[in-house]
Amino acid sequence: MTSVLNLVQSALGFKRLATSLRPQITSNVYEIYYDEISGNVVGIVYRNLVFLKGVSERRMNWHDAVDYCKTIVINGITAELCPVDSDDSWEKEFYSISKSLYEALKEIGAENLDTYTWCSEYSKDKAWLQYVGDSDVYTCLKDGCNFNVRPVLVLRR
């Protein structure tokens, strides 16, 4: 019965109508990113990055964080750690957007916004961290520290 109902809804455009009625942007104009299969909100788009609303349940070292991201696939895109430039351009850019990004993520129900999260590699022994709650980007030892992971999707538009 359910498959017949889905077929009828699809034929009549109900699914398309429901998709068009969902919010496309947050109140501060970030695009909302949806899982195409479930229709659930999964993140906020900034440029070509989707900051996912979920974070890892546990803290882990950087190497485990990289592996953790590989287990998350949304809309055919495998998650990654947030890419950070080796110069200070990401630090400046993140500082300028973090308060509005924080509010947008909060609006979609994001978890653990006031926690450090791993980012890309900085050097052989260190990796970047970012903290949306206080607008900062730091470095830390890959093996000597344990932090949460807020994966991102890199969109190839």
The CATH number for 70's domain is 3.10.100
Between residues 14 and 105, the one the model is more confident about: 105
Residues 6+ apart with CB under 8 A from 117: 55, 82, 129, 130, 131, 132, 147, 148, 149, 150
Which pLDDT score, from 0 to 100, does residue 156 have?
A: 85
Q: Which residues pair with 33 in a beta bridge?
A: 43
Q: What span, in angstroms and rounded, lies between the C-alpha atoms of 44 and 31?
A: 6
State how many domains the chain has: 1
Q: Which two tokens stand for residue 81?
A: 């750690």
Domain assignment of residue 1, yes or no: no
5 domain residue, yes or no: no
In this predicted structure, what is the pLDDT of residue 3? 44
Kindly indicate the confidence band of residue 157, based on its pLDDT and cuts at 50, 70 and 90: low
Q: Does the residue 126 lie in any domain?
A: yes
Is 57 inside any structural domain? yes
Tell me, what's the pLDDT at 19?
54
Give the three-state DSSP class for 25.
strand
Neighbours of 31 (CB within 10 A): 15
Residue 14 lies in a domain: no
| Within-domain flag for 77 | yes
Q: Structural domain of residue 117, as residue ranges?
A: 23-154
pLDDT for 106 equals 95
Q: Is the residue at 34 inside a domain? A: yes
d(Cα 101, Cα 105) in Å, to the nearest integer?
Answer: 6
Residue 135: the pLDDT is: 85
Residue-level pLDDT at 28: 79
90 pLDDT band, cuts 50/70/90, is confident
| pLDDT (average), residues 36-62 | 96
Give the residues across from 119 on adjacent strands: 82
Mean pLDDT of the chain: 86
Residue 72: pLDDT over 60: yes
